[in-house]
Structure 1
Amino acid sequence: MSISSLFNLGWNALNGAQSAIQTTGNNIANVNTPGYSRQEVRFEEAPTLDKFGGQMGQGVYAAEVIRHFNKFLFSSYLDKYSTQQRWEKQYEELQGVENLFNEANTSGINAALTTFFNDWQELSKRPDDKSVREALLAHSDNLTKLIRNADDTMLRMQQEIDQQIGQDVDAVNDMLRSIADINRQLNIHDDPGRNNANTLYDQRDQLVRKLAEKLDVTVVDNGGGNYTVNTKAGQTLVDGTVAYELRFDGPKSEAQLTTTSAFDGTLEFTGSDSSEYTLEVVTGGAVGTATYRVSLDGGQTWLKDADGNELHYTTQTSPTTERVKGLDISFTGATQPMSAGDRFTITPKSGLYWVTPTRDPLNVTPQALSDGTDNTSRITGGSLGALFTVRDDKIGEYRDKLDAFANTLMWEVNRIHSQGAGLEKLAQSAGTTKVPNTTASLGSPTAGINFHDRLQDGNIGIYVYDKTTGAVVNSGSIDFSSVVPPGLANFSKDDHSLQDVVDAINNDAKFTGLITASIKDGKLVVDGVGDNVFSFGADSTGVLAALGLNTFFQGSGAADIALRPELRQNTGLINAGQVNGASEGNSGDNNSAKEIAALATKKVTVSMFSSNSGNQSLSEFYSSIVAVVGADTASAKFNKAFHQAMSDDIDSRMSSVSGVNLDEEMASLVKFQHSYKAAAKLVTTADEMFQVLLGLKQ
């Protein structure tokens, strides 16, 4: 081996040791840098020379700087981390809801409900006491305010969640573009084994980790920029250098027609709801005759009535609508009939959509199925999974339950109160319920009233009095035989409309010249003629309560439940009594007050579209809402801790591979420092040998 070979050998050793020291120093400097993976110089022996007696080594060279990273652990971590982030965010949001339903104090809805029924009990003892009536009004007003406030607070929570979702979606799209850009840079700069772009790999993996905070993702790493990011459900978010996007979009509907369907119309809807509606045509035909069923969980289950029978709705041509839960649905522009099996999906809320250039936006909004599991064809994890779940499945359900509670409270109280009598007879009774379709049968969804499904066939009693003398002028049940279908004396929920009720009253001979009925702004109004006043008697149909005549409460649910305005102006209109068999409504009568007070313990059926809760008192049902909120929050807390432990375990295992250990790096630094000194000594030795050779000439 020549002296020049010794110089080269020493020079390579110096370069190798210097590279190792620089890499070790870089590790030490980035010990606290998020996403940094430990790097190490891989050394290779230089090619040898064949010499007499054996091959002679030519030293070493730094082949590459490798990055310590385990792809398989990273993939497992993404799954667990995304799930952990979902439960952490879900627990955070549900804590706010739990505080809203905290009944530990004495100022909650349950306490107000107890006071409400106690006041009716007190009124039954002193039905003509004005102070008792005023106390009842004040406490009832407080109860309605608490219910409205709870619903409004949850609505604002949903709106705040919408803002968070919008921010998260923007952040996700920024990250997707950044990942695609890094893939583009990797295609340029990365040369495996020669120029490993370790920093770019760290940046990309850190972005993917942050992406997993927002939604559940999987990755396919084929090396360099050939890198794909998918949702766990399979939608491609990044394909190499191409980034797709997610879009947070408003309410919309979509048709999924059968292959043989010729239907060319458009579905229209008004209203909002936390559920997605799937409409499936059961009986084909033209709009107006075709019928459909409705699912709130993507077609897993279908809405049923109180008897367990599947509900079928009739298609309506706009502007006539069919009321389904919180929506009014119609069709427009149809010249061809529908076919059985045609489906329409309504998303009456802001949703999340996967957008690509080659197809219509795909709905990937997280969705809970009827059995409580997630729809795995949608996004399920990360903060987005949590926010949508809390907004729709949790708060949406709580609002539905609170709405059902408010509706049942209104119906049960109004059902009794509307058949009662107060301290004064009525010169006018104006309904508080607006009927959108005054010619549709009141028992059908087409009428558009809240309690259409509670109406029954039967009769409605009215008593007319002389205002001056108080004597009974006439009384009896409204005769419906003058309206269609002719000859039918009693009210029929499937046949009679609001207009029919008006016509029946005005055409009834026993009430001619005594009372008149009319429709004002879609509401029924009954007026006494001249000096005639009236009271309502027994109503086996529920029409009075449904239309808001002679009621205690008004409204359509938790959002707008309130006292009937006339009661604030005149406490004498609170119906503590009833008209007796002698057609008298005495001031000391307490029958209505006793019946309403008995609702405190009466088992009632609380109807919801997803289920019916029977054999419970109103207080018990409300307590069940509080219990569900508490259970959901506790479940989220448990899952947060459980999945935190799992993700932390994998993160710890990843750190053992990719993390920087300062003790190890300091030991390596000392080792390579000695190597550098030894290599330098080799160079000086070669130099001394060279100087000896030069001295021989002298």
Structure 2
Amino acid sequence: MLDILNVAQSGLKVSQTQVENVMNNLANENTPGYKKRVVNVEEMDHIDSRKTGRGVETQNVSRITDIYMYQNLITEESQLSSMDELNSMLGDIEAIFKETDISGMSADINRYFKSIENLRTSPQNEIYKNDLANSARVIVSNLKEMYAGIEEVETSTLLGIKENVTEVNNILKEIGNISEKLVKTTSNSPNDLLDKRDHLEKELAKFVDVEIFRGEHYQLKIAGVTAVRFDTNVHEIKLVEDYVPQKDVYARTQVSGNAIVTVTDADGNFESPIKEAFGATGLDNVAVAEVQEIEVSGIATKDSISFLGTTITTAIGDDAATVVANISVQNANIISAWNSEHPNQEIDSITYAGTQIEITYKEFEGDVPAIDNVDINGISFTGSVETTKGVRDSITYTLNNEHSVTVTLGEEILDDYGNPVDITGDGSVANNTVTKDNILQALIYQINNDRDIGGKIKAYNGNYQLTKNGNKILSNNLAHSNTTLANQYADKYLVIESQVPGEEGKFVGEVTISDSLATADPLKPEIHKEHISNNKKVSQDALDDVHLEIYDKEITLSSGALKPMIDNVKTDSGANIFNQYKEKLDQFSKTLSDLTDAYIENPDQSYIYGTDAVELSSEEDRKVSLNLFSGANVKSLRFNKDSLDRLTQDNLDYLATIQWKEDIKFDSSSEDEQSFSQFYQALRVDVADNKENVVFKQGAQAAVKESMENAYAKLTKVDNDEEMILLIKFQSAYSANAKMITVVDEMLQTLLGLKR
């Protein structure tokens, strides 16, 4: 009889627990992260001779969940967060390019070209000039505002990354704390802690992609790298900002098999492509001579005069033409005597025509001082107009299509005070004249000491090396691994590095060589010009290297809100839409500056458009300079109002054709050709298409996530109807067990009555 009571009592306890569990489920129906509980019961072990069993007992209370479905759910949640963030960012970009039919960049481009057409009808009209100036300024202003707008979104995104990284680390810390409690708990049903941890994992997945392992020890990975291991060992996520300056290295390449390789010399230095571009005979292959023109006038008052140190016989009353004829008779003696006295300024020839005398000095004699104006015995020698025949080879470096420096063979390099300088760093100023052996170092000196260029970039003669302390070892230092006594002060190869690290210090540099090629007349060479490109393999683009690390290991996110944020502040992420749009604006600005800076009109009234094309043309001597805009990117773009007053009808005719020119290459690496209006419209379409594509993907991803969330919620969430059915069921079981105790009590009473 007592065994029956024990069985009934066990039934009462289990039913009570089940009823309590139902009430707890109903109470937590709306608790974030709560998963419904079930009471797991089992028959008590048979440990005696009873055949009918010992009753029932509660095994534990467990959560309803599905680990596989849960992992897929947080993965889809992470993907959706990534789409949401990207959509928000693209919305900010789209707002920057927003315009109406009558306002915005497209309308401003049309107004600019319309103002050119108006001025073309009346080139001296001040109203039309002011209209063109205003429309040009608006274009520059709009480009700068759009560029600055994108930069503001970048800045805001970087700030958001920092806030999100802090939030991620707080979540990881909380997960570690909960895991520690779970390890230490003595309860066999720590479901509240497990629910809290699940909820934190789901929150974490909104920021990063998460992978969870629930084996013997809890482990959580972010982007495949362990962030939590052995339950409680938490590694924080770290934001790393490394801003790398742009470095252009001008190193020669050659084809080796199917590959293009960078060429090095025996000492390990790259070979320079700049000197190589000067043709087979090198840098000093064309004669260059200075020419001085002298006008002779007056009437001889004596029977002799002196010319260049030689006495010339004349007759009193001889006119200037007769005197010149008498001088020509002594031509050989004059040249011989002069050259003997002036070995560094030797004359090659003297020609005579009427009252004109033309003196041509020997090639590479440098800058010959002008002959003084003199009056000798009634004869005046005046004018001394200096010109140059032949063209010395030269190298020009241009920064941002705005400022440039040129070094020329035979040029003497002086400081701001006119003093000779040490070009090579060997401590001597004796060799400050530019030669084929030091022309690169002369260019480097001029770049570094130019007021408009030197503060923005730094030029080096070959790559520097760094000590352990980060100090630079220049190539003229024997501590440099590629430097020997033989090459210590020699030209190596040109390296240009930005003084400002990261994207902010990005620049456009251009090296142009002017090579004088010999012809039948050594003083009338053919001029060959060529742009020398930097070696992309060994150069370094300006880089904002913003990335995340766990335990000093860089991680690459595949989803979560932080993924698009990192992608769009990291220069080389491969998915940086901010940089794509800034580059497009830079291309527009550079092309506008180039095409409105210079041109050549061909005999058939066609044109060679822009400075870049003109500089490479054999007809550069017919170049027409406009300088309407200058700059190589948005930040350096300028409108030069002073150029308006110099515009002629021919200039305006040229500028007007640019509006209809549809074969402009804005990107030298692309084959696409467009007009200015087409290029900008294509940019706006690209912005809108990107936004539309993300919105579509976002909608699809939201549907996938919602479907999976509904399926998971159906499994894990509290269902009121289901719980009420269970309540009735468990209440009935409780009542039945209570009834059993009453029955046993009545049976006992009957037995006791029989005994009495």
- For the Cα contact (< 8 Å) 1:186–1:200, is it kept in 2? yes
Please state how far the C-alpha of 1:105 moved relative to its aligned partner.
Answer: 3.2
Partner Cα separation in structure 2 for residue 290 and residue 174 of structure 1? 53
Find the counterpart in structure 1 of residue 15 from structure 2. 17
Which residues in structure 2 correspond to 1:154-193 (within 5 Å)? 154-189=150-185
Which residues in structure 2 correspond to 1:512-591 (within 5 Å)? 538=623, 551-564=627-640, 567=641, 573-577=644-648, 590-591=649-650
Which residues in structure 2 correspond to 1:19-34 (within 5 Å)? 19-34=17-32
Please state how far the C-alpha of 1:687 moved relative to its aligned partner.
Answer: 3.9
Partner Cα separation in structure 2 for residue 216 and residue 236 of structure 1? 12
- For the Cα contact (< 8 Å) 2:598–2:611, is it kept in 1? no
Which residues in structure 2 correspond to 1:566-645 (within 5 Å)? 567=641, 573-577=644-648, 590-608=649-667, 611-612=669-670, 614-645=672-703
Q: Could you give the per-residue CA deviations for residues 315-338 of structure 1, whole angstroms, max 9, x where no partner exists?
A: 9999979x9xx9989644353359
Q: Which amino acid aligns with 1:625?
A: L
- For the Cα contact (< 8 Å) 2:544–2:569, is it kept in 1? no
- For the Cα contact (< 8 Å) 1:248–1:350, is it kept in 2? no
Find the counterpart in structure 1 of residue 240 from structure 2. 249
TM-aligned CA distance change 1:636 to 1:12, over 3 Å = same
Equivalent pairs: percent with the same residue? 22
Please state how far the C-alpha of 1:347 moved relative to its aligned partner.
Answer: 7.6
1:118 to 102, 107, 114: 114
Please state how far the C-alpha of 1:561 moved relative to its aligned partner.
Answer: 2.5
2:728 to 670, 675, 690: 670
1:336 to 471, 481, 489: 481
The two structures have a TM-score, normalised by structure 2, of 0.59
Partner Cα separation in structure 1 for residue 600 and residue 755 of structure 2? 129
SS in 1 for 2:189: coil
- For the Cα contact (< 8 Å) 2:599–2:614, is it kept in 1? no
Q: Which amino acid aligns with 1:363?
A: E
Partner Cα separation in structure 1 for residue 272 and residue 10 of structure 2? 84
Please state how far the C-alpha of 1:685 moved relative to its aligned partner.
Answer: 3.5
Find the counterpart in structure 1 of residue 704 from structure 2. 646
Please state how far the C-alpha of 1:128 moved relative to its aligned partner.
Answer: 0.9
Please state how far the C-alpha of 1:19 moved relative to its aligned partner.
Answer: 1.0
TM-aligned CA distance change 1:648 to 1:183, over 3 Å = same
1:456 maps onto 2:600 in alignment:
no
TM-aligned CA distance change 1:593 to 1:346, over 3 Å = closer
1:381 maps onto 2:559 in alignment:
yes
Which residues in structure 2 correspond to 1:428-507 (within 5 Å)? 456-457=615-616
Task: Could you tell me which runs of 5 or more consecutive residues in structure 1 were left unpaired when the two chains were aligned.
Answer: 254-267, 272-279, 293-313, 365-377, 420-450, 462-476, 478-536, 545-549, 578-589
TM-aligned CA distance change 1:562 to 1:28, over 3 Å = same
Task: Could you tell me which runs of 5 or more consecutive residues in structure 2 were left unpaired when the two chains were aligned.
Answer: 249-259, 274-439, 467-472, 474-479, 484-534, 571-575, 603-609
Find the counterpart in structure 2 of residue 85 from structure 1. 81
Find the counterpart in structure 1 of residue 295 from structure 2. none
TM-aligned CA distance change 1:32 to 1:98, over 3 Å = same
Partner Cα separation in structure 1 for residue 672 and residue 726 of structure 2? 73
1:401 maps onto 2:584 in alignment:
yes
TM-aligned CA distance change 1:139 to 1:238, over 3 Å = same
1:682 to 729, 740, 756: 740
Please state how far the C-alpha of 1:203 moved relative to its aligned partner.
Answer: 1.3
Q: Which amino acid aligns with 1:336?
A: S
Find the counterpart in structure 2 of residue 47 from structure 1. 45
Please state how far the C-alpha of 1:14 moved relative to its aligned partner.
Answer: 1.6
SS in 2 for 1:624: helix
Please state how far the C-alpha of 1:68 moved relative to its aligned partner.
Answer: 0.8
Partner Cα separation in structure 1 for residue 66 and residue 732 of structure 2? 31
The two structures have a TM-score, normalised by structure 1, of 0.64
Partner Cα separation in structure 2 for residue 196 and residue 597 of structure 1? 82
- For the Cα contact (< 8 Å) 1:417–1:551, is it kept in 2? no
1:62 maps onto 2:58 in alignment:
yes
Partner Cα separation in structure 2 for residue 327 and residue 389 of structure 1? 28
Which residues in structure 2 correspond to 1:294-309 (within 5 Å)? none
1:136 to 132, 136, 150: 132
1:229 maps onto 2:220 in alignment:
yes
Partner Cα separation in structure 1 for residue 7 and residue 125 of structure 2? 112
Please state how far the C-alpha of 1:391 moved relative to its aligned partner.
Answer: 4.5
Please state how far the C-alpha of 1:608 moved relative to its aligned partner.
Answer: 4.0
Please state how far the C-alpha of 1:91 moved relative to its aligned partner.
Answer: 1.2
Q: Which amino acid aligns with 1:238?
A: V
Please state how far the C-alpha of 1:404 moved relative to its aligned partner.
Answer: 0.8
Q: Which amino acid aligns with 1:558?
A: V
Please state how far the C-alpha of 1:682 moved relative to its aligned partner.
Answer: 2.6
- For the Cα contact (< 8 Å) 2:594–2:611, is it kept in 1? no
SS in 2 for 1:214: coil
Please state how far the C-alpha of 1:395 moved relative to its aligned partner.
Answer: 1.7
Q: Which amino acid aligns with 2:124?
A: D
Please state how far the C-alpha of 1:606 moved relative to its aligned partner.
Answer: 3.7
Q: Which amino acid aligns with 2:59?
A: A
Please state how far the C-alpha of 1:70 moved relative to its aligned partner.
Answer: 0.4
SS in 2 for 1:238: strand
TM-aligned CA distance change 1:349 to 1:328, over 3 Å = farther
Q: Which amino acid aligns with 1:620?
A: Q
Q: Which amino acid aligns with 2:81?
A: Q
Q: Which amino acid aligns with 2:37?
A: Q
Find the counterpart in structure 2 of residue 94 from structure 1. 90
TM-aligned CA distance change 1:538 to 1:317, over 3 Å = closer
SS in 1 for 2:553: strand
Partner Cα separation in structure 2 for residue 625 and residue 96 of structure 1? 15
Partner Cα separation in structure 2 for residue 617 and residue 386 of structure 1? 32
Find the counterpart in structure 2 of residue 500 from structure 1. none
Partner Cα separation in structure 2 for residue 46 and residue 106 of structure 1? 85
Please state how far the C-alpha of 1:595 moved relative to its aligned partner.
Answer: 1.1
- Count, aligned residues: 492
SS in 2 for 1:139: helix
TM-aligned CA distance change 1:397 to 1:341, over 3 Å = closer
1:151 to 137, 147, 153: 147
Partner Cα separation in structure 2 for residue 190 and residue 230 of structure 1? 27
Please state how far the C-alpha of 1:181 moved relative to its aligned partner.
Answer: 2.2
1:204 maps onto 2:275 in alignment:
no
What is the RMSD of the two structures over their aligned residues, measured on CA atoms? Answer: 3.7
TM-aligned CA distance change 1:640 to 1:38, over 3 Å = same
Q: Could you give the per-residue CA deviations for residues 226-254 of structure 1, whole angstroms, max 9, x where no partner exists?
A: 1222234x22122131111222222245x
- For the Cα contact (< 8 Å) 1:36–1:202, is it kept in 2? yes
Partner Cα separation in structure 2 for residue 126 and residue 18 of structure 1? 100
Please state how far the C-alpha of 1:353 moved relative to its aligned partner.
Answer: 2.4
Please state how far the C-alpha of 1:82 moved relative to its aligned partner.
Answer: 1.4
Partner Cα separation in structure 2 for residue 69 and residue 347 of structure 1? 50
SS in 2 for 1:363: strand
Please state how far the C-alpha of 1:165 moved relative to its aligned partner.
Answer: 0.9
Q: Could you give the per-residue CA deviations for residues 644-680 of structure 1, whole angstroms, max 9, x where no partner exists?
A: 1111111112112111111001111121122222222
SS in 1 for 2:59: strand
SS in 1 for 2:544: coil
2:550 to 355, 362, 385: 355
Find the counterpart in structure 1 of residue 4 from structure 2. 6
Please state how far the C-alpha of 1:459 moved relative to its aligned partner.
Answer: 7.7
1:410 maps onto 2:593 in alignment:
yes
Please state how far the C-alpha of 1:270 moved relative to its aligned partner.
Answer: 8.1
Find the counterpart in structure 2 of residue 657 from structure 1. 715
Partner Cα separation in structure 2 for residue 31 and residue 594 of structure 1? 78
Please state how far the C-alpha of 1:640 moved relative to its aligned partner.
Answer: 0.2
